[in-house]
Amino acid sequence: MITHLDREACLRAVTGRDARFDGWFVTGVRTTGIYCRPSCPAMTPRARHVDFYPTAAAAQRAGFRACKRCRPDASPGSPEWDTRADLVARAMRLIADGVVDRDGVPGLAARLGYSVRQIERAMRAELGAGPLAVVRASRAQTARTLVESTSMPLSQVAFAAGFASVRSFNATMREVYATTPRDLRPRAGSTGEESAGTLSVRLPFRAPLHPDDLFGHLASTGVPGVEEWRDGAYRRTLALPGGPGIITVSPPSGDHPHVRATLRLTDLRDAGAAVARCRRLLDLDADPVAVDGALATDPVLAPLVARAPGRRIPRTPDPAEFALRVVLGQQVSTAAARTHAARLVAQVGRPVEDPVGGLTHLFPAPDAVAAADPDSFALPRTRRDTLLALAGALADGSLDVGVGADRDRARAVLGGNRGIGPWTVDSVAMRALGDPDVFLSGDLGIRQAAAALGLPTTPRALAARTAAWRPWRSYAVLHLWGTLDHPITRLPEDS
């Protein structure tokens, strides 16, 4: 049991079956040997019989198995891992992206700049489980999702979920779920929606979720050939460790708290990483009740929050790509930025095959951009030089904006590049680095919205006025953008 959890607060959440806390912690019931999410509909256990754990991995390590009724493994992830910038949060983001599956714990430690022993110690102290236990729990969750939502042969499920053998897959599933993979499938059935290399999964989130500006932003700023809006869904190509992939995510419908995602993968072992990147793209692990509750205390923001609760930050599945795109979009319109990015894609992007729509390329990797002929770029010379310098820094590792990056260091290195100003640094911090407390005071749209709402319009005065919105100023940006008459604020029309 981890003692830093507030036991009384956890007990109140469990007693009230409060779904807002699903994913924040799990409850281990000693009399039954199972662990549950806070909103489990089963009879509430006596307080003296329960312990609380910050992760499923910690509960499993303590000998508990997952509840078959409330499915604690299907909860949204803890919002802490997206919002925090400390070592454990960085490690959790990298683990979700599959770094340990690909490079082992030494690879994780190398990415973070710490020793294996330091990583183990930090994670055990806070989570009650080390990196391998967290990975094991994640593999079990991915495997159960594939077992229940596809008709893939179970041997393929095992390797797609990251298990080294079918034997370890079966043993883990029996230990975590107290049943065999084969027994899970008849109860849940199969969607039958997948084909070779294609999976259809559901991505849970904490309600509410306002889809209009989330999907509107992604669609209206999408790079032709890399992104598109088709048949009521956002689609894009993705460079994954095992090869190119195409993800399709649809806005939630009705009262179902999940986003439907279809993953077309070159290598099914990329399923876990692809799901993690979809979740990060749509900010699905956010806690909208906490965010909206804090912002609504300001009389200017209160009506905006009431009108559109649950706004999410449109993030990115590829932080290096986003950084390059922000530089291409400096001091130009959204349409011009898309044009510049499309030219770059056509010139040095990697072609892909899309049997469904109009996706033609992966966005070029930084090393491909850095190696391109500078004279071939149809850009002003200063912006071309900035783009190439940024691509070089991303390619050689002197700048890291990935999920495990040190945010403060990334901001300092990025801002030290000639031609990159505060707006670019803040945009990358907000949407690539995932910082929840960035305010784009120099953004033209923000200044227009501020003027309409009676807020100060000069960057310095506006930044001072918004200090009360901390630590959720990135979400305040979305509410201010939402007052504008712009395609980014509206759910796209079908094409």
Task: List phi, psi (to 5°) of 227.
Answer: -135, 155
HSE of 403, CA atoms in CB hemisphere, 13 A? 24
Return the pLDDT at 1: 39
Cβ partners under 8 Å of residue 103, min gap 6: 110, 111
Q: What is the 3-state secondary structure (H, E, C) of 178-236?
A: CCCHHHHHHHHCCCCCCCCCEEEEEEECCCCCCHHHHHHHHHHCCCCCCEEEECCEEEE
Domains 80-149+152-188 and 199-495 share a fold: no
Beta-bridge partners for 198:
264
Task: List phi, psi (to 5°) of 264.
Answer: -105, 110
Prediction pTM value: 0.89
HSE of 224, CA atoms in CB hemisphere, 13 A? 12
CATH code assigned to 80-149+152-188: 1.10.10.60
Cβ partners under 8 Å of residue 53, min gap 6: 1, 2, 5, 25, 26, 27, 28, 35, 59, 62, 64, 128
**In the CATH scheme, what architecture does the domain 199-495 have?**
Orthogonal Bundle (1.10)
Beta-bridge partners for 50:
29
d(CA 81, CA 27): 19
Return the pLDDT at 6: 86
HSE of 483, CA atoms in CB hemisphere, 13 A? 20
Element (H, E) at 250: strand 243-250
What is the CATH T-level fold of the domain 7-74, as seen in this structure?
A: DNA Methylphosphotriester Repair Domain (3.40.10)
Domain ranges of the chain: 7-74, 80-149+152-188, 199-495
Return the pLDDT at 134: 93
Walk along the chain (495 residues) and give the pLDDT tens digit of each residue. Answer: 344 678 999 999 999 888 878 888 999 999 999 999 999 998 999 999 999 998 899 999 899 999 988 888 777 888 888 888 999 999 999 999 999 999 999 999 999 999 999 999 999 998 889 999 999 999 998 898 888 877 788 998 998 898 989 999 999 999 998 889 988 885 544 444 556 688 888 899 999 999 999 999 999 999 999 999 999 999 999 999 999 999 999 999 877 788 999 999 999 889 989 999 999 999 999 999 999 999 999 999 999 999 999 999 999 999 999 999 999 998 888 899 999 999 999 999 999 999 889 999 999 999 999 999 888 888 889 999 999 999 999 999 999 999 999 999 999 999 999 999 999 999 999 999 999 999 999 899 999 999 999 999 888 899 899 999 999 999 999 999 999 999 999 998 875
Return the pLDDT at 188: 43
Return the pLDDT at 147: 87
**Which residues are catalytically annotated?**
36, 443
Question: What six digits make up the tokens of 364?
Answer: 């070029």
Question: What six digits make up the tokens of 464?
Answer: 């001072």
Return the pLDDT at 128: 87
d(CA 142, CA 353): 26
| CA dihedral of residues 463, 469, 472, 475 (deg, nearest 10) | -80
